[in-house]
Amino acid sequence: MNQDQRKKQRRDDALAAFAELLDVVDTLRSENGCPWDREQTHASLKPYIEEEAYELIDAIDAGHPAHLCEELGDVMLQVMLHAQIAFEADAFSIAEVMRGLSRKMITRHPHVFAQVTADTSEEVLRNWEQIKSTEKDRKGKGLFDGIPRQLPALSRAARMGSRAARTGFDWQTPGGVREKVAEELAELDAAVASGAPEDITHELGDVLFAVSQWARHLKQDPEDALRKSCARFADRYHKMETAVSATGRAVRDCHPDELEAAWQEAKRT
């Protein structure tokens, strides 16, 4: 089978599978369908799309293709449910969702579908932001308006810094951001010394924002880095807890020096 035949088969398989899923969701929302699915609204489904997105991230981190495939399906189900609810309200259909996405991708990739040149990822991103700024629905909006407010704060901070950087408002080197982190830490120390809770909150936020920008300059995702750090902490704490439990005690019953020794051993294993 040549490449064109493989593409055609993939397309045919995808269309058949999509039609099947469309029928399944339509049945679930029908009069004789599932009571729970029929009760759902755009608002009621918000917690589920968030949960499924994070489960998808976990699957990506785990590196298990079968798990990833399943979680992608769960995210797709959320998209299908929202589109079905909108269709029932005569707002829009899943076809409009897909056509709108196709048009957006074609418009925002002129280096692929038109005669614009973009040889690097940085050039692609600059073109992307310029195109977005001229689109009808972006007129009159601020630079950060398109960044979801519900994003985890570290991710949102990094995205804000990235967008500002594309306008030329940024540090020139990672070292410059490192100096800013030190400056913010000094201001946090001063706030802690003053004992004013509002000032401490303010300066602590500035430290975290500066760290997120440092991560960006180091080409790291701060949210991903912190998530992995949390996973390491949980794993090491569990090992420490297990070691302490083997002595017939609980962690809270141990001297700090014992816990430090157990922690260092957990880090080595």
- What's the whole-number mean pLDDT along residues 52-58? 92
CATH of segment(s) 3-108: 1.10.287.1080
Lowest-confidence range among 17-26, 64-73, 130-139?
130-139
Kindly report, residue by residue over 221-234, the tens digit of the pLDDT: 999 999 999 999 99
The CATH homologous superfamily for domain 153-220 is MazG-like (1.10.287.1080)
> Does 104 have pLDDT greater than 70?
yes
On whether the CB atoms of residues 161 and 216 are closer than 8 A, the answer is: yes
Q: To the nearest whole percent, how much of the chain has pLDDT over 90?
A: 75
What pLDDT, on the 0 to 100 scale, is given for residue 125?
75
Q: Which position has the higher pLDDT, 212 or 166? A: 212
Q: What is the pTM of this model?
A: 0.67
> Does 129 have pLDDT greater than 80?
no
> Is 153-220 the same fold as 3-108?
yes
Q: To the nearest whole percent, how much of the chain has pLDDT over 70?
A: 97
Give 265's pLDDT tier (boundaries 50, 70, 90). Answer: very high
Long-range (24+ apart) CB contacts under 8 A made by 239-247 are 239/265, 239/266, 239/269, 240/265, 240/266
What pLDDT, on the 0 to 100 scale, is given for residue 114?
82
On whether the CB atoms of residues 222 and 154 are closer than 8 A, the answer is: yes
- 147: CB partners within 8 A, 6+ apart: 156, 159, 160, 163
- 112: CB partners within 8 A, 6+ apart: none
**Burial of 215 per CB tally in 10 Å (0-12, 13-18, 19+):** buried
Tokens 């700024």 sit on residue: 133
> Does 136 have pLDDT greater than 60?
no
Give 137's pLDDT tier (boundaries 50, 70, 90). Answer: low
Give 13's pLDDT tier (boundaries 50, 70, 90). Answer: very high
Domain ranges of the chain: 3-108, 111-141, 153-220, 224-268
Give 209's pLDDT tier (boundaries 50, 70, 90). Answer: very high
The pair of three-digit structure tokens given for residue 152, joined into one six-digit string: 């985890």
Q: Which position has the higher pLDDT, 35 or 148? A: 35
